[in-house]
A and B are shown apart, each in its own frame.
Chain A
Amino acid sequence: QAVVTQEPSLTVSPGGTVTLTCDSSTGVVTSGHYPYWIQQKPGQAPRTLIYDTNNKQSWAPARFSGSLLGGKAALTLSGAQPEDEAVYYCLLTDSGPWVFGGGTKLTVL
């Protein structure tokens, strides 16, 4: 089964821009992996932020966007806010098993 790799931690300044990436050990991440991005804040259940590469859930702020970048899935946050501090998980799916990345702890400081 594939291993999905994310940056363990990143820091962004308030109002700044940061890109989180999601890499697969099996090769290039494509739209056929239907990449998800999931946000989890301390003490809360996870919630889906983006699905199928770049489709936002209705609650997701416009400052978040998903894409494919250099063979990886990517989550870009433009104009970071303090409330965006959380752990972000990448999830790669296809018609079968799912695989989560280890998560990126994003600090807004």
Chain B
Amino acid sequence: EVQLVESGGGLIQPGGSLRLACVGSGFSVSGNYMSWVRQAPGKGLEWVSIIHGRGDTYYADSVKGRFSISRDNAKNTVFLQMNSLRVEDTAVYYCVFFYWGQGTLVTVSS
């Protein structure tokens, strides 16, 4: 059974950094795409970033230069390093590989 479990969210001040993690089970992150998608309170889904099986990465314009996606194949884990956080980054962040995790809430506020 495929499972995705996100962690690392929390309350952070504007300008701060957080690192989200997504542990996969029931499949291998190394040979597949893994994506991060976020949802601000009361809003729709917004794609954030993706790392493909071959390792190439892409970012939404809204996070380019501030966020970085990576993976640790040995731990079957994908990370999202978020720097220079803004109030508008407040959202539930989901890890996605066909299946979706339950999400982790990131709140950026002073």
Number of interface residues of B (CB under 8 A): 21
Listed stretches A11-19, A41-49, A67-75, A76-84; interface member:
A41-49
Assess whether B46 is in contact with A100, with CB atoms less than 8 Å apart.
yes
Q: Which residues of B contact A48 (CB under 8 A)?
A: 96, 98-100
CA distance A19 to B51 in the complex (A): 32
Q: Which A residues, 56 to 109, have Cβ-Cβ distances below 8 Å to chain B?
A: 57, 87, 89, 91, 95-100, 102-103
CA distance A45 to B6 in the complex (A): 12
Q: Which B residues, 20 to 65, have Cβ-Cβ distances below 8 Å to chain A?
A: 35, 37, 39, 44-47, 50, 52, 58-61
Assess whether A100 is in contact with B44, with CB atoms less than 8 Å apart.
yes
- 1/0 per residue, CB under 8 A from B, across A1-15: the answer is 100000000000000
Assess whether A45 is in contact with B94, with CB atoms less than 8 Å apart.
yes
Q: Which residues of B contact A51 (CB under 8 A)?
A: 98
Most chain-B Cβ atoms within 10 A of its Cβ — which of A40, A98, A99, A103? A98
Set B47, B96, B99, B102: member contacting A99, Cβ < 8 A: B47
